[in-house]
Copies of this chain bind each other. A is one copy, B any other.
Amino acid sequence: MKALVLSSGGLDSTTALALAVKEYGHKNVISLSVSYGQKHTKELKAAEEVAKYYDVEHMFVDLTAIFKYSNCSLLTGSTEEIPHESYAEQIKKTNGQTPVSTYVPFRNGLFLSVAASIALSKDCQYIYYGAHADDAAGSAYPDCSEVFNSAINTAIYEGSGKQLTVKAPFVGKNKSDIVAIGHKLNAPYHLTWSCYEGGEKPCGKCGTCIDRAAAFKANNLKDPAL
């Protein structure tokens, strides 16, 4: 059995990779990371380092051209600023009705589809990815919701001729649950990168920095990347 893991270099996907390596062994795991025009290209370097740490094959795809018309605040070409507040605060402002400004148009659907095409060519039976409950809260990221996940999983299973199954082991869990799991597995969190800004060090102010800090704090752990 072989698995392809969507790896962004952050906490969630690094923990997913840790689970896949434990399950299938490092020789049967491929990590895939994607450039999509994000300001925080440091995450790509982090994904590469995590792959090296686990000694798994690392693949890279560049989808920048597909997102060049989007004004999502995460993207280099955007006129929008990345909000310096928690997701909970951002969702309150949109009344939970529309995606937050850091929603990249159908990103997860596209990434999973790319993963499916590559996984089939590379004889994998599983795709792992780190979707979890916090991202799906309100309508912040509609491409993280349970109904989306269920539909895309069916699309990939059926559309691959039942050759490929998506595993999202953290659906229903939150980021502090994930950190607890990763901590037990000795996931290399010291190599990960979460911050949405393109700086040298995490800004500590964007939604993902705030959520990351809270997840370590809930586990009484120090963030080893700081």
Decide if B154 touches A98 in the complex (CB within 8 Å): no
Supposing A106-B156, A121-B105, A147-B154 touch, asked if A99 and B161 sit within 8 A by C-beta, the answer is: yes
Instruction: Give residues of chain A (128-149) contacting chain B, Cβ–Cβ below 8 Å.
Output: 139, 142-143, 145, 147-148
Give the number of chain A interface residues (Cβ < 8 Å).
Answer: 44
Q: What is the CB-to-nearest-CB distance from A47 to chain B, in angstroms, rounded to a whole number?
A: 17
Decide if B158 touches A142 in the complex (CB within 8 Å): yes
Q: Is the C-beta of A160 less than 8 angstroms from some C-beta in chain B?
A: yes
Q: Is the C-beta of A1 less than 8 angstroms from some C-beta in chain B?
A: no
Selected contact of A106 from candidates B67, B106, B113, B142, CB within 8 Å: B113
CA distance A113 to B116 in the complex (A): 12
Count copies of this chain in the complex.
2
Supposing A62-B65, A121-B67 touch, asked if A159 and B108 sit within 8 A by C-beta, the answer is: yes
CA distance A151 to B122 in the complex (A): 24
Decide if B117 touches A106 in the complex (CB within 8 Å): yes
Selected contact of A116 from candidates B61, B106, B118, B120, CB within 8 Å: B106
CA distance A217 to B159 in the complex (A): 31
Selected contact of A69 from candidates B67, B109, B121, CB within 8 Å: B121
Q: What is the CB-to-nearest-CB distance from A138 to chain B, in angstroms, rounded to a whole number?
A: 11
The 6 closest A-B pairs by CB, nearest first: A105-B120, A69-B121, A143-B159, A151-B154, A142-B161, A151-B155
Tell me the A residues contacting B by CB distance below 8 Å.
61-62, 65-67, 69-71, 98-99, 103-110, 112-114, 116-118, 120-122, 139, 142-143, 145, 147-148, 151-152, 154-156, 158-162, 164
